[in-house]
Structures are given as structure tokens and as C-alpha cells.
Chains A and B, each alone.
Chain A
Amino acid sequence: MNERLQDLLKNGPKVINIGVEQFALDLKEQEVPTVQMDWRPPQVESDLLSKLKKLRKK
């Protein structure tokens, strides 16, 4: 069996939490080793606003 899966099932979760921070707090309350990641969405530009502005001018 994969070592990390075996470790998960035999020794319990050790968690990297990506997203909702409340889940990390709930895990820490249960004394689970947890690290919260400061995840950000990939940088992308939106042109919706310029489209909206154009529509308003029409």
C-alpha cells in the first residue's frame, strides 16, 4: 500500500488545509497537526467590466 495512505489510515490525518480556514480550526481543536495555506487564485485578468461599460454606452 502507498506509504502516505497507510500512514493516514494507521496514524490519522496530518493536514494541509487549502481554503476555508474554519476546517483547520476544527481539526486543531481535535489536536490534528494542521497547516493552513494562504491560497490565492491564479492571476487572471477580466474584460467583463469593459464589456459592461461598452453596453451601457450603447
Chain B
Amino acid sequence: MQRLEVMPRTYYDSITLMRVAKEITGMEGIENASLSMGTEANLRILAAAGFDLSEINVTPNDLVIAVSGEDAVLDEALSKAKEYLANPPWKKEGGKSESYKPRSLDGAISVLPEANIAMISVAGRYAGDVALDCLHRGLNVMLYSDNVPLEKEIEIKKLAREKGLFVMGPDCGTAIVRGVAMGMANICPTGPVSIVAAAGTGLQEVHVQLAKRGVGTLHGIGTGGRDVRAEVGGIMVEMATERLLEDDEVEVLVVIGKPPAPEVEKKILERISRGDKPAVLGFIGGESRGDRDGVYICTELEETAAVAAALAKGEDVAEARKELDSAEESLRELAGKHGPRKGWLRGLYSGGTLCYEAQVIAKELLGPIHSNTPLKKDLKLEDSLTSVEHTIVDFGEDEFTQGRLHPMIDVSLRAGRFVEEAKDPGVGVILFDVVIGYGCNPDPARELAEGVLKAKAVAGDRIAFVASICGTETDPQNAARQRSILEDAGVLVCESNARAARLASYLLKG
């Protein structure tokens, strides 16, 4: 049985809707629950899920609640959904929303006239125009939304450059401004390093790795991954680099991302070389090699942080790199103790940059890696749900996030996939990331550890589980607590994503 209810002219953000849907789906007797705005795309998804839409009248401005399951509980599910919308059960004590919320941007500015940035997380098809409105009113922008068309991104960034304002994003999940965590970000000390990042979880990893070395970060300016592509031309990377080089409080500058278009890389290198601060370029898996005149070239995230930390502390960079080499030796020893394992590597990731870095490292040690976001096009998985030989999957890609929370918030898909992978007798190692901090799942290790135990019930000790935690002890989820939950489930937990990817590969390589 199924039931539909339309709430006319009612709007809630997508994360709230998906959280309520998850709560309702978890009710006894409910098969499926969906809360979505009545857009064409959403109605198609509902129709595909088997809901009969012929009797309802709906516009994109209306909210549609759809539930299916046992007839006796459907009414209760609908009223629970409305109750949760009005009063979300996950809101912390004292975290109540304020009663007055301005409906217009001008109204918001009149409430907070000193506002200097707008954080935008509305649906991608609207987000670009909202960003333009904010820029026209003199506000910097953090654009969390994805699915903003490339042409719109270029238009927004050209306007921002003309006005001398920052646009972080689109698809910028993480930013740090004077130590404040914006979006999905960690609580770390402030200090002499600042970061420009065309890589969301890359920024989180470097931020956390610096903190682990006792070095604080003042700013972490996200630009969105497309900024360093030739079409956008690195507008925001260049602008943020320029501002941070001028900033007296910044002692060491770090720029990270996937390898940029050659002309963008050249521009960044030229600008940094003219500056009077030491700088570290961390282009994951990049071709550039060799340090030059105060510019240090790195190809991994932990290496980038280790070099920047050494520079900030006035220590020898060569020594910092040597320490990483000796850490690699200990990983080989650890692999000897827990290996060798036979078969394939399966990586299940929530962080896009971490997934990319894991592929770069595993490819060097194991050979070709299949993925839904592969390093080379011919290694693209036909179906993201079915692994092939060595596979590393990014669960943050569109096919997993349509109508579903991001895997850093909802870890259930990955926990379920552990069991699916365990059923494949060819699998020897499962590798995964756990990203914590503001904006992420409140206790991801618990659900992931349950998945690991279920997988072990299927595969026994055949499969080794390897993970890293991107987070600190001061994060709301507490990295040390997360680690002990995973270790209790028999997971080998490494100090960084790069180390986890190496250990996973050494276990199979022998």
C-alpha cells in the first residue's frame, strides 16, 4: 500500500527532507519513504519507485510526502513525517532555530548589516543566481551546492574577480576562515599556515594532518574542484593565492588539488615564485617534481602537510620527508604481520579527493584500479554497484547521492556494501575512509563497524579491513573514540589516507 500527501507552498532544504525520510523509512512496517519538492526530476523518481501520481496536483513549490508499506502504519508515518519537519529530533538542545528568518536577501542584510559572506546550499539550478545576487550586494560567497552549470560558474567567478570578492565553490564542501569551520570541516588550532584548496576532503585531510603535527591553520579557502580546469582558468585559486601571499599573518602557503590544467599550474607556480613566503604545492598524483626556490612540490596530502608543518616550525624539510619514508617501512612490517592476503582490493570512499589519492597510490603498487571516478577513462566501472578486479568507489558521486544524503552523513550504503564485497570470494582487502567534523555523521564508526562485523560473519578472516580517520580529538565525533570502535571490530586504522592506501596495497602485494 502507498500514500501521498502534498503540502502546498512548503519548502525545506534537501538535507532536512532526506533526514526525515531516513527516520520514517526506519519505522516498523514502512518499506519506502520519500520527502521531496515537486520538481519534474523528483516526480520522475517517485514514479520510478512505483508511486501513483495520477490523483495528485503538484507544483515545484509544493512538498510531496510519499510512503509505502503496511496499510496500518501509513497514516502514522505521514503524521510522524510532519511532526519531524516541524520539530527535528536530531536538533541539539539549545540548537533551536530562531523564530525570525528573513525571506529576502535584503531582509537578511538588514538583520546582519555587518555580514561579509553568504553560505549557499540551495539546489544547484537556483544556486548560481543566488550567488550572483549576493555578489551584487558586496558579499563574499561560499557555494556548497553542486550541479551548478560550468558556464554559470565562470560567470560568477568573473563577477567576483571584478568586485574583488571570493567565491568558494561551487561544490565547495569545506572552508576554514580564521579557524572557523564552515560546512564539513574539522576543529583544529589556528596558526601560521593557510591553504588554497581545489579539493574538499583534500583540505580536510591537510588541515587535520597539520594539526596532528602541532601546526595550526588560519584560512582554508576552497575553490571547487573545477576551478583549476582550463575552462575556468583557476580564477579563484589565483585570487586566493594572491590575497594570502599579501597577508602578513600567513607564514606558509599551501595550494592543493588534483593536477590542474597545465596553463593553470604554470600561472600558480609563477605567482607563488614571485611571493616572499615559502609555499607547498600538493597536486595529488601530479607530474611536476622537484623543489625550487622556496616552492616545494608534493604529490600526496600527508606529504603536503608534513612539508608545510616542517616549514612552519623552521625544521628541515628533507628530515620530514625521511620520517614519511620510515613510516612506510613500518607499514610494510605491519603488512607482513597481517598478510599476505590474496585477491582484490575494494576501496569504498566517502571523500572524493581521498578516493582519488587512494587510486594514485594503489595503482603504483597493484596496477590498474577500476572506479566510478577512474584515473583513466577506460577503467570506468560499467556499474558503480558492481566491483571489478581492483576497484575503488567514490560514494559521493551523483549515482549514489540522488535523493540521498551524502555518504559523509549517511554511511549505511557503504556499511551494506562491505557485506556485498565479502560475498565475493576474490576479495582480500577492503579499504575505506571515515571523515568526521562539523556537517558529518555524528557517529560514523559505529555503523561502519557493524558493517565490518557482518562482513566478517560472511567471509571470516579472509578479508583484512583497513581505514583512516580524517578528523581530530576535538571534533564532535572524537577521532580517538571513532578509532577504538573500528579497532574493536578488527579494522587496521592508519594515521592518514595515504598510509591506509599503502597498507592495503602491501597486504595484497606481500
Determine how close the nearest CB of chain B comes to the CB of A20; give it in whole angstroms: 4
Beyond A4-B139, A52-B47, is A20–B121 a contact (Cβ under 8 Å)?
yes
CB nearest to A26 among chain B residues: B438
Question: Nearest-CB distance from A1 to chain B (Å)?
Answer: 6
Interface positions of B from 76 to 107, Cβ below 8 Å from A: 91-92, 95, 97-98, 101-105, 107
Pick from B144, B165, B177: contact of A4, CB below 8 A.
Answer: B165
What are the residues of chain B within 8 A of A29 when measuring CB–CB? 95
| Contacting residue for B144 out of A2, A20, A24, CB 8 A | A20
Size bin of chain A's contact surface: 35 or more
- Convert A16-51 into 0s and 1s, putting 1 for each residue whose CB lies closer than 8 angstroms to a CB of B: 111111111111111011111111111111101100
Contacts of B438 in A (CB 8 A): 26
B98 contacts A12, C-beta separation under 8 Å? no
Task: State the main secondary structure of chain A at its contact with B.
Answer: mixed
In chain B, residues 134-186, which have Cβ atoms closer than 8 Å to a Cβ of chain A? Answer: 134, 138-140, 144-145, 163-166, 177-178, 180-183
**In the complex, residue of chain A having the shortest beta-carbon distance to the beta carbon of B107:** A37
Q: How far is the CA of A50 from the CA of B120 in the complex (A)?
A: 33
Among B34-42, B283-291, B362-370, the stretch that binds chain A is: B34-42
CB-contacts of B1-33 with A (<8 A): 11, 13-16
Q: Contact: A14 with B117, CB < 8 Å?
A: yes
- For the complex formed, measure the closest distance between the CB of B322 and the CB atoms of chain A, giving whole angstroms: 35
Q: Are A9 and B178 in contact (CB under 8 A)?
A: yes
Complex CA distance for A42 and B130, rounded to whole angstroms: 11
Q: Mark B436-452, 1 if CB is under 8 A from A, else 0.
A: 00110000000000000
Selected from B15, B44, B61, the residue in CB contact (under 8 A) with A40 is B61
The docked-state distance in angstroms from the alpha carbon of A1 to that of B38 is 43
With contacts A8-B166, A21-B97, A49-B58 taken as known, whether A35 is within 8 angstroms of B112 at the C-beta atoms is yes
Complex alpha-carbon distance, A24 and B60, angstroms: 25
- A18-B121 contact given A1-B243, A23-B144, CB 8 Å threshold: yes
Asked if residues B166 and A13 are in contact (CB atoms below 8 Å), the reply is no
B72 at the interface (CB under 8 A from A): no
User: In whole Å, how far is B278's beta carbon from the nearest beta carbon of chain A?
Assistant: 20
User: A52 is contacted by which of B53, B98, B119 (Cβ under 8 Å)?
Assistant: B53
Q: Which chain A residue shows the least CB distance to B56? A: A49
Contact with A along B172-203 (1 / 0, CB 8 A): 00000110111100000000000000000000
A17 touches B59 (CB 8 A): no
Confirm or deny: A56 has a beta carbon within 8 angstroms of a beta carbon on chain B: yes
Contact B126 A41 (CB under 8 A): yes
How far in angstroms is the closest Cβ of chain A from B114? 5
Residue of B nearest to A17 (CB): B119
Interface residue? B73 (CB, 8 A): no
Q: B109 touching A16 by the CB < 8 A rule?
A: yes
